[in-house]
Structure 1
Amino acid sequence: MALNQKQLKRVEDEIKADIDRGDYDGVHMIVAQHGEIELETVYGYAERATERPLKDDDIFRPLSLSKGYTNGLIYRALSEGKLTLATRVIDVIPEFLGTNQFHMLRKDQINLGHLLTHRSGMPATPLPGVGQDQMADLSAVIAGLGSVDVIHDPGTRVNYSPAINHALMGEMARRVYGYDSFAKLAQDLIFEPLGMRDTAFGLPVDKRDRAVPIKVYLEGGFLRPEDIEVFNDLIDENAEMPWVGSTTTARDVFAWVELLRRKGELDGDYLISPKVIERAGRIHTGELMNDLYGMVNHERGWELPKGNIGLGVIVNGDGIAPNFFGPFTSPNAYGNNGAGSTLYWIDPDNDVTFTFLSAGVLDEGDNVERFLKISSMVSAAIVS
């Protein structure tokens, strides 16, 4: 396999045209095969309003792409026997059950496998049991979740969880490793071993000047612009939000993506078991639809997509319903994304990876259209 350089140039030109047209503000994208970077594009603005150009070491708040890093902690815990997919949340976080018998129903059934596959039955809310004023405090979130009801039988429906599932997983990982801080756990177990020097949960004070502001370009829909732009303030040096609260660079994301491509191998040893990563990249939701993206596709008049959820990741699967990967990326491709702005995927069949962090948060339907186009063009560059 190889990547056609003329086609990659078309990808770069298409992205530049998108930005020049004002579709979004800037992008840092990396396309690689066999671990070798074939295309790296840094173009546009970190902040269009001030004409601040995007630089190759700028730090993004990648929103739900942060979930990928929390997945990594869970993969390590699974590899090391500290957790299993059958571990119930209440076995590690007993207070999750709550003290009100009317809020306890079915909570004792939710296990780690349900959380990873977005089948926990918990509500699909961006507010994890507390208001915005407490969202950056993981201990407050965990306390608040004790009073949140299960709304579906665990395991019966796929409903993407913006916050609750990964808040619980982050706390489960923190407790089984015996750390006082989730952010320090991620630093020690994932970021430091991979040399991800510009990545953290929270935004260190000495890196504020390099941070790309979150600017939202959408009207109506599931979230309001202020619901997302609030993270400019919430993600500070003390924030611990395992679902949305990391800060990172494209090159650091690429380091994480490379670990997944290598199935956990790092410097001749294994940070994560290859069997865990292989299983993570398989579909575990059968024929179930994803309620959230079913809503997005329905509003656009598109074919409804299957959930295609692996262990914490989205898997491409078969079919041609519009999605982030496009129909020409391998069915085994998988990855994580952040609301209207970020995406990475690994195509194990073609040994190709895609890392894309953008400035300017799009409406989710527009975001799917953008990545459908760009991912398809990248996949079209794969030639024998």
Structure 2
Amino acid sequence: MALNPAQLKRIEETIQADIERGDYDGVNVIIAQHGEIALQGTYGFSERATERPSKQDDIYRVLSLSKAFTNALAYRALGEGKLALSTRVVEIVPEFLGTDPFRMMRKDKINLWNLLTHTSGMPATPNPGMPIQDCVKLPEIATAIGTVDVIHEPGTQVNYSPAINHALIGEMVRRAYGYDSFQDMARELIFEPLGMKDTNFGLPKENEDRAVPIKAYVPDTGFLRPEDIEGLNEVITEEAELPWVGATTTVDDVFKFVEMLRRKGEVNGEQLIGKAIIEQATTLQTGDMMNDLYTMVNSEMGWAAPKGNIGLGVILSGTGPVPNFFGPFTSPNAFGNNGAGSTLFWVDPDNQVSFVFLSAGVMDEAKNVERFQRISTMISAAIV
């Protein structure tokens, strides 16, 4: 198999047309097969308002794509016997129960599997028990989550969690390993072994000049308002430990991470994460359960409700015509992660194709799904 150069050129032209139309400001893209890059492109603007051009070494605040890095920390903890999928949150983070006995119900049932599969029953809120503007250090955030009620019986339905689940995952892993700092743990266990030299949780001061500002092109009536999204420019600071939304990185670093997943945990001839862990993580865990949050997105567009299609922290392509980030022509086993209206990676293991897309300008989520479905379909059509 190979990737058709003429189709790759069409993909470039499509991206450039999207940017010229004002759908988003700019993007860094990598498309590869068997680890060999077939297309790497830098297009448009890092910041349209100042006409700052995109550069390959731009550093993006990748929003919920950050969850993929937190997932990887959990995978290491599982493979190294630090945690189990059945480990309950309260065993590691007892303050998760809170102090009000009338608000503790069902919290003692929630385990690591529930958090990774978004079946914890916790609410789909972007604020983990405290205003996002106050979120800095992870232990304090985990304590604040103790004030948040469970709203569904754990394990009974998928409700994608923008914040709470991965905040708890990050704190469980940190305590299991005994690190003082979540940032240090992520750097030592994931980023340094992969050579991801420009990736951090938080934005180091030396990287600020290369950072792409978050600009939101979303309606005021949406799930998140423009000011909610753009406010993350000030929230994601050098000190911020936000396992669900706070990573900063480059397209080349994300590609290194994605290739580790494609190779089932292998890096430079060594197994960073156990092969069995990656295989299970990229296998459907949520059965036929629907995704409550994305059902609202699809309903607004008149689309059918989507299944959860979640593995252990990753999203799976699945089958059928319901619009999704991967399009209907990747293999059902394709998996990846995305960040609100702007970032995406996926791996199609059947065709050994990898895709990384980091863009400036946060789109409305339904339009974002349409964009990624179109581009993902074009990538699938490039396989010959």
User: Post-superposition shift, 1:103?
Assistant: 1.1
Residue 266 of structure 2 is matched in structure 1 by: 265
Kindly indicate whether the alpha-carbon contact (under 8 Å) linking 1:58 and 1:212 is maintained by their aligned counterparts in 2: yes
* Distance in 2 between residues matched to 1:132 and 1:177, nearest whole Å: 26
* Distance in 2 between residues matched to 1:133 and 1:56, nearest whole Å: 30
After superposition, residues 30-109 of structure 1 pair within 5 angstroms as 30-109=30-109
User: How many pairs are equivalent?
Assistant: 383
Residue 321 of structure 2 is matched in structure 1 by: 320
Kindly indicate whether the alpha-carbon contact (under 8 Å) linking 1:174 and 1:182 is maintained by their aligned counterparts in 2: yes
Amino acid paired to 1:298: S
RMSD: 0.6
Residue 5 of structure 2 is matched in structure 1 by: 5
Residue 360 of structure 1 is matched in structure 2 by: 361
Can you list the C-alpha shifts for 1:2-48, whole angstroms capped at 9, x where unaligned? Answer: 11111111001100000011110000000000000000110000000
* Distance in 1 between residues matched to 2:133 and 2:21, nearest whole Å: 36
* Distance in 1 between residues matched to 2:29 and 2:243, nearest whole Å: 24
More displaced, 96-105 or 248-257?
Answer: 96-105
Kindly indicate whether the alpha-carbon contact (under 8 Å) linking 1:174 and 1:185 is maintained by their aligned counterparts in 2: yes
User: Post-superposition shift, 1:164?
Assistant: 0.1
Kindly indicate whether the alpha-carbon contact (under 8 Å) linking 1:322 and 1:369 is maintained by their aligned counterparts in 2: yes
Amino acid paired to 1:302: W
Which residues of structure 1 form unaligned runs of 5+? none
**Residue 22, structure 1, aligned to residue 14, structure 2:** no
Q: Secondary structure at the match of 1:286?
A: coil
After superposition, residues 1-384 of structure 1 pair within 5 angstroms as 1-219=1-219, 220-383=221-384
User: Post-superposition shift, 1:294?
Assistant: 0.8
Can you list the C-alpha shifts for 1:130-154, whole angstroms capped at 9, x where unaligned? Answer: 0133223322211111111100000
Q: Secondary structure at the match of 1:306?
A: coil
Kindly indicate whether the alpha-carbon contact (under 8 Å) linking 1:134 and 1:140 is maintained by their aligned counterparts in 2: no
Amino acid paired to 1:112: L
Amino acid paired to 2:22: G
* Distance in 1 between residues matched to 2:250 and 2:209, nearest whole Å: 13
Amino acid paired to 1:369: E
Kindly indicate whether the alpha-carbon contact (under 8 Å) linking 1:136 and 1:240 is maintained by their aligned counterparts in 2: yes
Can you list the C-alpha shifts for 1:289-325, whole angstroms capped at 9, x where unaligned? Answer: 0001111111100122111010001000111100000
Which residues of structure 2 form unaligned runs of 5+? none
* Distance in 1 between residues matched to 2:233 and 2:129, nearest whole Å: 21
Kindly indicate whether the alpha-carbon contact (under 8 Å) linking 1:327 and 1:376 is maintained by their aligned counterparts in 2: yes
User: Post-superposition shift, 1:266?
Assistant: 1.1
Kindly indicate whether the alpha-carbon contact (under 8 Å) linking 1:110 and 1:120 is maintained by their aligned counterparts in 2: yes
* Distance in 1 between residues matched to 2:89 and 2:253, nearest whole Å: 30
Amino acid paired to 1:104: M
Percent identical: 67
Amino acid paired to 1:259: M
Kindly indicate whether the alpha-carbon contact (under 8 Å) linking 2:126 and 2:132 is maintained by their aligned counterparts in 1: no
Kindly indicate whether the alpha-carbon contact (under 8 Å) linking 1:89 and 1:96 is maintained by their aligned counterparts in 2: yes
* Distance in 1 between residues matched to 2:334 and 2:192, nearest whole Å: 26
User: Post-superposition shift, 1:268?
Assistant: 1.2
User: Post-superposition shift, 1:380?
Assistant: 0.5
Q: Secondary structure at the match of 1:11?
A: helix
User: Post-superposition shift, 1:205?
Assistant: 0.5
Kindly indicate whether the alpha-carbon contact (under 8 Å) linking 1:130 and 1:140 is maintained by their aligned counterparts in 2: no
* Distance in 1 between residues matched to 2:338 and 2:50, nearest whole Å: 27
Amino acid paired to 1:177: Y
Amino acid paired to 1:352: V
